[in-house]
Amino acid sequence: MEAAGKEEISVEDEAVDKNIFKDCNKIAFYRRQKQQLSRRSTYQASLDSATTGKDSTKFRIINETTKVPLLAEIYGIEGNIFRLKINEETPLKPRYEVPDVLTSKPSTVRLISCAGDADSLVLTDRKGDLKCHITANPFKIDLVSEEEVVMSINSLGQLYFEHLQIPLEQSDGDAYRLYNLDVYGYKIHDKMGIYGSVPYLLAHKLGRTLGIFWLNASETLVEINTEPAVKYTVTQMGPVAPKQKVRCRTDVHWMSESGIIDVFLLTGPTPSDVFKQYSYLTGTQAMPPLFSLGYHQCRWNYEDEQDVKAVDAGFDEHDIPYDVMWLDIEHTEGKRYFTWDKKRFPNPKGMQDLLRSKNRKLVVISDPHIKIDPDYSVYVKAKEQGFFVKNHEGGDFEGVCWPGLSSYLDFTNPKVREWYSGLFTFSAYQGSTDILYIWNDMNEPSVFRGPELTMQKNAIHHGNWEHRELHNIYGFYQQMATAEGLIQRSKGKERPFVLTRSFFAGSQKYGAVWTGDNTAEWSYLKISIPMLLTLSITGISFCGADVGGFIGNPEAELLVRWYQAGAYQPFFRGHATMNTKRREPWLFGEEYTRLIREAIQQRYTLLPYWYSLFYCAHRTAQPVMRPLWIEFPEELDTFGVEDEYMLGSALLVHPVTEPKASTVDVFLPGSNEVWYDSKTFAHWEGGRTVKVQVALDTIPVFQRGGSIVPIKTTVGKSTGYMTDSPYGLRVALSTKDSAMGEFYLDDGHSFRYLHQKQFLHIKFSFLSGVLINSCADKRGHYPSKCVVEQIFVLGLKKQPSSVTTRLSDGKDEPVAFTYCAQMSTLQLEKLSLNIGSDWEVHVR
């Protein structure tokens, strides 16, 4: 078997030909679906036999052609969610139902029938705000709110529940493909499957946001067709003026290869409501350790311990902060995970001690394939216990990946996950320490020379399920087991950090995701924004794209612009493949080093705001990185914007994504808003597009009037160096001369915030010339030495006559201040206001 491990394996050789990946017309079940639609086979519901129990309403659906009966179940779920499940009434064999994605069994709300006969049935909960109208022939379900149909199921009669598979001729098609694949240098603006899949759709219009969560882990295709908006007039009785309304309709056709129909209808009505409804089902973003919000330095591969030491020293020599060093597959002994190459990394603990001395961490890679080697203990123990995925004949599935011939751990098996978690203990993983964290890669799963570089669909998993049933959830399970292993390693005390390439609905509970093997081209920098916005609104707030592009050699300008963009995106990592030139931040000349340093320093300055946003995502499911329409849901001009975004509710970011740009057009939403340039403090009225001058050192970032953003006033070598450094507040006044903000603080690494309530949650408010710092959550207590030493007030139109601070003892102390009439800014320096105490600043 050793010979297989010595093959020259290159993902570029395996995947550069995109023709190996299927488009829709080559997918058999899609062709069958499309041909069936041309026949217009209809389904009829037997509503006269409908039964309503404690949890659900059940009725039969009959296909008029096949006469095969289906069982439909409709559930009302807390928080304005409806769930529809459809299965065969008497299947020949059980159909796969996706486990482990939902955080718990959803709490149901009893639905009552408020009208009905053999032709229709109307269900509602006790509040009666939403009604579920079921039509018998042809079968259709409408969700109605205030007499308006907000969502329909099977309105086009496209339901087709497949019973027999008959080979058909190819037909053209165009659909979004949800099928996790290892696509090296993926195409942009393409609907093909790549690394992860979240079968979740959001729809937004003026006055309503909806969500559809299709709980199916098999290959899934989604067709989306939007009709043009149509204006119409609603005439009402009596002396009431007619209303002008806009009717919008989007038809969505979901097609999955196997499993059952299990769909959740999230009825909003606001974006925030939909995010909460989805998180109620699948969980919120895991609270990350603070270090993971700093900058990460990665390469395939840092060659040896001396290379790591030199790169680490380079950051210090050039005064560039960073938090995490990463090691790719070459750090192992022959691609055997949980081992170290004894020549390159003879003293891994010593290397980690060096990083620890600077409050830095190490991340190493751990892929799901295990080298077939009778002398490799991980392989031997897994084989002895039957922990590998099986082939259709019953033997261990074998495929080629980085080590050569490999078997693949069956993470769908709870016992395999438990065993795998145990591999991260310090006694099992020799050379690891408590500053070592994990990167799960190649977990689609990637199988070189397999069909579309992945596992055969007839491979067999735990429970005798074929791989086709659960393909998209394989990587989800590896990240779950890895995160649990890191938690167990610390006896439940420390938060894990796990980055995964493959993901599914609910992956946010276990760590971070990145967009995979991108290319060092301007178009990939530009597409990273809508890609990360898409991930963010599907619950995965901790997401990022490799800075500089993984594939190829970026020119200096592109690299600078990518660092500037990455500094304002949730997961911030530089990474490059092994055949590229070295690109550490100081290798492009002094001027470019300065620009990259400034971008990374801006990231560290804003860490208090980032950390507070992640706490908000963790607690309330609001995305960290947000499309403009989330903050401005009633402003039509925001709906199609994807070259700029909001960080939380306070900062608008418009990265420069074009070469040699001297200006960018920035849309500042909100006709009643005011926006402040975060660097110059110049201000603009909202509701318009402004042309902003940009040099290579410009990152267009604007603070929204009415917000207060906490910052750090000094930057250290890493987040650990900044624990006790002072804070500043950027108070940006609204058109009503007021502002609000929040701040969250805990120890940055443990679960004590959760179990012992050791945290501070602070709210800031500025109203009538008084800035107030007060407790937002009295359950939390966390002692902090940190002080607010600096306050900037933007948009203060009149020079104050005095500024005083008032502590909890009630005494007023005068404060020196600087006021700039030209920029309408007030600056307070050398303050000493404890961040965890109540205090006020009076501006008179």
Longest CA–CA span in the chain (Å) reads 88
Query: Which of 162-171, 234-243, 576-585 is predicted with the least confidence, judged by mean pLDDT?
Result: 162-171
Q: How sure is the predictor about 239, in pLDDT bands with cuts at 50, 70 and 90?
A: low
The first and second tokens of residue 224, run together, are 């989306």
Reference 100, options 578, 519, 645, 475; nearest CA is 475
Q: For residue 827, report the phi and psi dihedrals to the nearest 5 degrees.
A: -120, 125
CA distance 209 to 726: 41
Q: What is the pLDDT of residues 791-825, one digit of tens each?
A: 999 999 999 999 999 998 889 999 999 999 999 99
CB-based contacts of 379: which residues, under 8 Å, 6+ apart? 336, 370, 371, 372, 373, 407
CA distance 460 to 391: 6
The first and second tokens of residue 818, run together, are 């600087």
Give residue 62's pLDDT: 93
**pLDDT (mean) for 114-132:** 87
Give residue 244's pLDDT: 63
Selected residue with higher pLDDT from 630 and 37: 630
CA distance 221 to 175: 6
Q: Is 673 a catalytic residue?
A: no
Q: Is 517 a catalytic residue?
A: yes
Q: How sure is the predictor about 11, in pLDDT bands with cuts at 50, 70 and 90?
A: very low
Q: What is the pLDDT of residues 299-331, one digit of tens each?
A: 999 999 999 999 999 999 999 999 999 999 999
Q: Tell me the whole-structure pTM to 2 decimals.
A: 0.94
Give residue 163's pLDDT: 74
Helix and strand totals (H; E) in the chain: 16, 49
Residue 35 has pLDDT above 80, yes or no: no
Residue 17 has pLDDT above 80, yes or no: no
Asked, as a colleague might, if the bond just before 359 is cis with ω within 30 of 0, I would say no
Give residue 32's pLDDT: 82
Give residue 16's pLDDT: 55
43-52 and 200-205 beta bridge pairing: unpaired
Which one is catalytic: 328, 444, 469, 644? Answer: 444
The first and second tokens of residue 129, run together, are 């705000």
Q: How sure is the predictor about 6, in pLDDT bands with cuts at 50, 70 and 90?
A: very low
Q: What is the pLDDT of residues 747-790, one digit of tens each?
A: 999 999 999 999 999 999 999 999 999 999 999 999 999 999 99
Percent over 90 (pLDDT), the chain: 86
CA torsion through residues 169, 172, 174, 180, sign: positive
Give residue 36's pLDDT: 75
**pLDDT (mean) for 739-753:** 98
Question: How many residues in total does the chain contain?
Answer: 844
Q: What is the pLDDT of residues 153-207, one digit of tens each?
A: 999 999 999 874 444 444 466 899 999 999 999 999 999 999 999 999 999 999 9
**pLDDT (mean) for 445-452:** 97
Give residue 228's pLDDT: 78
Which one is catalytic: 257, 517, 631, 746? Answer: 517
Reference 343, options 355, 353, 334, 356; nearest CA is 334
One-letter amino acid for residue 480 of the chain: M
Report the C-alpha dihedral over residues 634, 637, 640, 645, rounded to 10 degrees.
-80
Which one is catalytic: 125, 182, 441, 673? Answer: 441
CA distance 538 to 200: 7
Reference 182, options 325, 41, 416, 21; nearest CA is 21
Give residue 169's pLDDT: 45
Q: How far is CA 656 from CA 413, 590, 644, 698, 794, in A?
A: 46, 21, 10, 8, 25
CA distance 470 to 488: 27
825-828 and 817-820 beta bridge pairing: antiparallel
Residue 506 has pLDDT above 90, yes or no: yes
CA distance 93 to 73: 19
Q: How far is CA 444 from CA 24, 56, 368, 437, 785, in A?
A: 19, 35, 9, 20, 46
Percent over 70 (pLDDT), the chain: 94
HSE value, Cβ hemisphere, 13 Å, CA-based, for 182 = 26
CA torsion through residues 271, 273, 274, 276, sign: positive
Q: Is 172 a catalytic residue?
A: no
HSE value, Cβ hemisphere, 13 Å, CA-based, for 786 = 26
Q: How far is CA 232 from CA 156, 229, 717, in A?
A: 22, 10, 60
Report the C-alpha dihedral over residues 125, 126, 131, 137, rounded to 10 degrees.
60
Q: Locate all alpha helices (DSSP H) within 241-336, ordered by sequence.
A: 271-282, 305-317
Report the C-alpha dihedral over residues 559, 564, 567, 573, rounded to 10 degrees.
-10
Mean pLDDT of all residues belonging to the chain: 94
CA distance 781 to 757: 6
